[in-house]
Structure 1
Amino acid sequence: MSADTGASIDTETLVRIHQLYGEQSHLIDNGRAREWAATFSADGEFHSPTYPDPVVGTARLTTFAERFFEEARSSGVTTRHVITNLFVHSADDRSAIVHAYLQIVSTPVGGEPRLVRMTTITDDLVRQDGRWLIRRRVVRRDDTP
């Protein structure tokens, strides 16, 4: 039950949405850029203050994820996206709004892990062909308004 809307969110919807976020983290962290981009709608958007421009559309999202993984690999680090405190704010059978915390952790080979960024994400999801997809993601760093 959402405190803001009073709308009931069924268990299957919650499970499928949680699976989306777990899948996304594993895909980008393991260099599976095309599959990561496919977790967004074809016109999906990624907005983050860490990057100068929004990334929009499957081709650009794929390139973004490829670069992210290659930069980490060439730096000799393993990067992990850790999504916690997932809150499905509202949902119906075609759309949902999700809030979560996203931590990006970097571990150099033989070194200690370090927190690179602590952020919040707000996602607008759409349901297409029985799958939940991200239509628009807005990332906010904790050091920005």
Structure 2
Amino acid sequence: METVGPPYAPLGPDASLSAGIQRFHARQMHLLDSGEAEAWAATFTEDGLFAPPSLPEPVRGRAALAAGVRKAHEELAAEGEARRHLLTTAAVGDPEPDGSVRVRSYVQVVATRRDEAPKLLLMCVCEDVLVVEDGEWRVRERYVTRDDRP
């Protein structure tokens, strides 16, 4: 049997960059799903922008980001629903000249109500611009689009 090449690309110098961003995203999604609004908002730059498809205008700044998460988490808890954001297949770009990194990933949002089976609520594409501040990754810009909307 002839082989065409290795079954996977060897890990290059960008492997640690991708691993660090994967850890960042995992922590960020856990904070969001746990309703830790201030801690989640702190994963954005002070003037960070979040443009989800559920809002008519983007949200800018940590205070507004935290307020939105706090309100949404309280409403979901009152309805007996838990949401989980599964961020996967992150394609990490090369660092830009200013040090920022663009990351494109898929996000599945799973909703579970008490005594009901989980259901896939949304399938989205997430486009991030990440920067390092004080030795930590932060989101400078996040744009989210839904697969079921043009």
What is the TM-score when the length of structure 1 is the normalising length? 0.89
Q: Which structure 1 residue ranges, 5 or more long, are not aligned? A: 1-7
Pair 1:102-2:133 in alignment = no
Pair 1:44-2:48 in alignment = yes
Q: Is the Cα–Cα contact under 8 Å of residues 44 and 135 in structure 1 kept in the other structure?
A: yes
Runs of 4+ in 1 over 3 A off after TM superposition: none
Deviation at 1:9, TM superposition (A): 5.2
Give, in whole Å, the separation in 1 of the partners of 2:139 and 2:117.
Answer: 32
Give, in whole Å, the separation in 2 of the partners of 1:65 and 1:129.
Answer: 24
Matched letter for residue 107 of structure 2: L
Q: CA RMSD in A?
A: 1.5
Q: Is the Cα–Cα contact under 8 Å of residues 9 and 91 in structure 1 kept in the other structure?
A: no
Larger Rg: 2
Aligned to 2:57: 53
Aligned to 1:119: 124
Task: Give the share of equivalent positions with the same residue, in percent.
Answer: 38
Deviation at 1:89, TM superposition (A): 2.2
The 1:70/1:9 distance shift into structure 2, 3 A limit, reads farther
Give, in whole Å, the separation in 2 of the partners of 1:111 and 1:67.
Answer: 23
> Comparing both structures, which one devotes a greater share of its residues to strand?
1
1:47-81 CA-partner distances (Å, limit 9, x unpaired): 02211221100100100111121121111011101
Deviation at 1:91, TM superposition (A): 2.0
Q: Select the residue among 119, 123, 134 that pairs with 2:139.
A: 134
Q: Secondary structure at the match of 2:69?
A: helix
Q: Which structure 2 residue ranges, 5 or more long, are not aligned? A: 1-11
Pair 1:84-2:88 in alignment = yes
Q: Is the Cα–Cα contact under 8 Å of residues 9 and 90 in structure 1 kept in the other structure?
A: no
Q: Secondary structure at the match of 1:94?
A: coil
Aligned to 2:73: 69
1:75-121 CA-partner distances (Å, limit 9, x unpaired): 10111011111110222582100000011111011111111111000
Aligned to 1:5: none
Pair 1:25-2:29 in alignment = yes
